[in-house]
């Protein structure tokens, strides 16, 4: 009887799940009435004004009001949710807050489909691309059959023009303020996602290239893992037993350093690019993964043991993450690291606490009530009549004997954003590092992030995120809306990508070999 009940509940759950997916996907193609679309606009604007502490930081309140009002007037016919998204995201872009964004609806896969695609590799897996001058070019074709020549322009994916893709979605990506480096950088790395948004998950695609003066079309297929035989499974089991200890070490490292299976890379990684162990590269891919306290202590112990004189901190394409993670890293790079944030501004005394309820499930609400109460009493008006949150966003305790005091170069680009941009600002304020690359995607003076609840519009079901705390570096500069500028500007291009050449790192290594000539001009000891 019990087994029958369990089976019954399982079947019912499966049916409900399938129904839910079908209903969701049907909604994606549903046409929403004009009146309901306008209600979604009003709902969104109300939430933005309620939770965002610096909505008018880059755009005047008068202009924001005008944008929302005029947008409502343009809605004169029913639209599908994603068509509404395409019309709505320019309004968000006008706000110029990268953490405050609206998201399209992606069709969901049923359980059988999920299982089918779980370990598969995309039809684009054999190709790497690079956007340059509003066009997309092939960097490398890794397929073995009739490979396309590097540098060929990608004109279309199936019947979808890459120009059309660019014109439709490029403006949906934006950073903080008035710089363009973030949008260019991020679109370059993620533009294929928009193909999936419009076309869905596909098992094959036809790519159209301009190779020299010739139009070349090539079919590319999704690859699926081979089904293992029982004999192969047995072999793998035996192998696992033999290398059990070694695999355990690997798993521990993966956990500590934040290993990503999709990119097959670590969140943090220390390497030595030359035969000279006194030169090290510390690559920080994000501030989200890994056992922060342990790994930084281990990393800077290695740096000390190798007597590193020149440390290259690489935070290119680091989109940020936890402030505490960034603070730990910062603390090992400067001697006075107690302050990491300047102002922590919120919209009002209750906005931060109430945002908690949008981030956690209902059973946690009793605890959240205590948390929201604490933030209420921790919020008061400062001398500028702004609501400032006094609670600490990060507190770190490090081994001060491991603080690195040698030469510090920092690699930055448009993908250096949020917490990544904050640490860059603080290091530049202290004149602690020499910066190489391009302007960061994040504003030098900070970002509106913190807790970022996602709200669902009642009719289109589109989600949008709202930054709830304005986080600034320890000091601010007069210029607003622009990122951290490099001391030496160097940008990647198609040629360097094809050659797999890192011009920024190469320049730094050359400066080190020249007795830190350019470094010493900016950072005199």
In whole angstroms, give the CA distance from residue 316 to residue 492: 11
Between CA 1 and CA 415 the distance in angstroms is 58
Helices (H), 203-291: 230-242, 244-257
Residue scoring higher pLDDT (276 or 231): 276
Q: Taking residues 396-421, what's their average pLDDT?
A: 96
Cβ contacts of 52 within 8 Å, gap of 6 or more: 97, 100, 347, 448, 466, 467, 468
Domain made up of 249-339+395-447+475-522: CATH architecture? Alpha-Beta Complex (3.90)
Sequence-separated (6 or more) residues with CB below 8 Å from residue 7: none
Q: Write down the pLDDT at residue 198.
A: 86
- Name residue, tokens 């363009």: 180
pLDDT reported for residue 4: 36
As a whole number, mean pLDDT of residues 378-398 equals 87
Beta bridge partners of 127: 141
Percent of residues, the chain, with pLDDT higher than 90: 65
Structural domain boundaries in the chain: 1-30, 122-221, 249-339+395-447+475-522, 351-389
| Lowest mean pLDDT, pick from 31-35, 63-67, 356-360, 482-486 | 356-360
Residue 3 vs residue 501, higher pLDDT? 501
pLDDT in tens, 424-442: 999 999 999 999 999 999 9
Residues 346-374 have pLDDT tens digits of: 998 888 887 877 777 777 767 777 777 77
How would residue 522 be classed by pLDDT, with cut points 50, 70 and 90? very high
Count of CB atoms within 10 A of residue 417's CB?
A: 30
Q: Write out the H or E segment, with its range, that includes residue 162.
A: helix 162-169
Instruction: Give 82-117 pLDDT, tens digit per residue.
Output: 999 999 999 999 999 999 999 999 988 888 888 888
Burial class, 168, CB count within 10 angstroms (exposed 0-12 / middle 13-18 / buried 19+): middle
pLDDT at 145 over 90: no
The stretch 416-421 carries a mean pLDDT of 96
CATH topology of domain 122-221: Pdz3 Domain (2.30.42)
> Exposed/middle/buried for 327, CB within 10 Å: 0-12, 13-18, 19+?
buried
What pLDDT was estimated at residue 9? 35
Instruction: Answer whether residue 28 shows pLDDT above 80.
Output: yes
Residue with tokens 């030359």, as numbered in its chain: 274
Reference 87, options 72, 100, 65, 97; nearest CA is 72
Quote the CA–CA distance of 429 and 426 in Å, as a whole number: 5
Q: What are phi and psi of 179, to 5 degrees?
A: -85, 155
d(CA 136, CA 255): 36
Q: Is the pLDDT of residue 500 over 70?
A: yes
Q: Is the dihedral of CA 201, 202, 206, 209 positive or negative?
A: positive
Mention every residue, 6+ apart, whose C-beta is less than 8 A from residue 23: none
- Compute the CA torsion angle 316, 269, 401, 484 (nearest 10 deg): 0
Helix and strand counts by DSSP (H, E) for the chain: 18, 22
pLDDT (tens digit per residue) in 149-165? 999 999 999 988 999 99
Beta partners for residue 136, in sequence order: 131
pLDDT at 238: 58
- The span from the CA of 24 to the CA of 16, in Å, is 12
Residues 476, 21: Cα–Cα separation, whole Å = 48
Chain segment 285-342, per-residue pLDDT in tens: 999 887 888 999 999 999 999 999 999 999 999 999 999 999 999 999 999 888 899 9
């Amino acid at each position: 009887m019990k087994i029958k009940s369990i089976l019954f509940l399982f079947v019912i759950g499966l049916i409900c799940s399938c129904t839910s997916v079908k209903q969701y996907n049907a909604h994606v193609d549903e046409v929403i009435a004009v009146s309901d679309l306008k209600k979604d606009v009003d709902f969104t604007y109300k939430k933005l004004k309620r939770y965002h502490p610096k909505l008018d930081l880059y755009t005047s309140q008068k202009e924001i009001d005008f944008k929302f009002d005029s947008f409502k007037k343009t809605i004169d016919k029913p639209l599908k949710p994603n068509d509404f998204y395409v019309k709505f995201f320019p309004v968000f872009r006008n706000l110029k807050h990268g953490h405050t964004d609206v998201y399209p609806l992606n069709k969901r896969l049923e359980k059988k489909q999920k299982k089918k695609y779980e370990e598969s590799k995309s039809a684009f897996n054999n190709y790497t691309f690079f956007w340059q001058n509003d066009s997309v070019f092939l960097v490398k074709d890794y397929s073995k059959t009739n490979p396309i020549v590097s540098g060929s322009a990608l004109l279309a994916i199936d019947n979808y023009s890459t120009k059309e893709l660019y014109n439709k979605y490029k403006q949906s990506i934006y950073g903080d303020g008035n710089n363009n480096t973030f949008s260019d950088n991020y679109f370059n790395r993620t533009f294929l996602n928009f193909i999936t948004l419009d076309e869905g998950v596909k098992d094959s695609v036809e790519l159209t290239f301009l190779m020299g003066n010739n139009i070349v079309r090539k079919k590319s297929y999704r690859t699926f893992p081979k089904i293992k035989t029982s004999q192969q499974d047995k072999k793998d089991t035996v192998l696992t037993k033999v290398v059990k200890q070694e695999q355990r070490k690997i798993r521990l490292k993966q956990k500590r350093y934040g290993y990503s299976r999709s990119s097959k890379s670590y969140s943090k990684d220390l390497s030595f690019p030359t035969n000279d162990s006194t030169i090290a590269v510390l690559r920080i891919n994000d501030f989200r993964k890994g056992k922060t306290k342990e790994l930084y202590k281990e990393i800077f112990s290695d740096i000390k043991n190798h007597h590193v004189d020149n440390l290259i901190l690489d935070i290119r394409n680091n989109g940020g993450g936890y402030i505490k993670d960034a603070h730990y890293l910062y603390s090992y790079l400067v001697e006075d690291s107690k302050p990491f944030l300047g102002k922590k501004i919120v919209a009002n005394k209750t906005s931060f606490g109430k945002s908690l309820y949008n981030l956690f499930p209902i059973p946690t609400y009793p605890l959240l009530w205590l948390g929201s109460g604490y933030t209420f009493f921790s919020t008061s008006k400062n001398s500028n009549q702004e609501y400032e949150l006094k609670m600490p966003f990060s507190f770190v305790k490090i081994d001060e004997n491991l603080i690195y005091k040698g030469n510090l170069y920092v690699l930055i680009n448009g993908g250096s954003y949020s917490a990544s941009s904050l640490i860059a600002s603080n290091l530049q304020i202290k004149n602690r590092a020499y910066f190489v690359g391009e302007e960061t995607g994040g504003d030098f003076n900070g970002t509106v992030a913190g807790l970022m609840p996602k709200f669902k519009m009642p009719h289109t079901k589109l989600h949008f995120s709202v930054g709830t705390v304005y986080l600034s570096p320890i000091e601010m500069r007069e210029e607003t809306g622009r990122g951290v500028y490099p001391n030496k500007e160097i940008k990647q291009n198609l040629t360097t990508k094809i050659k797999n050449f890192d011009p920024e790192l190469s320049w730094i290594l050359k400066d080190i070999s020249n007795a830190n000539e350019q470094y010493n001009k900016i950072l005199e000891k």
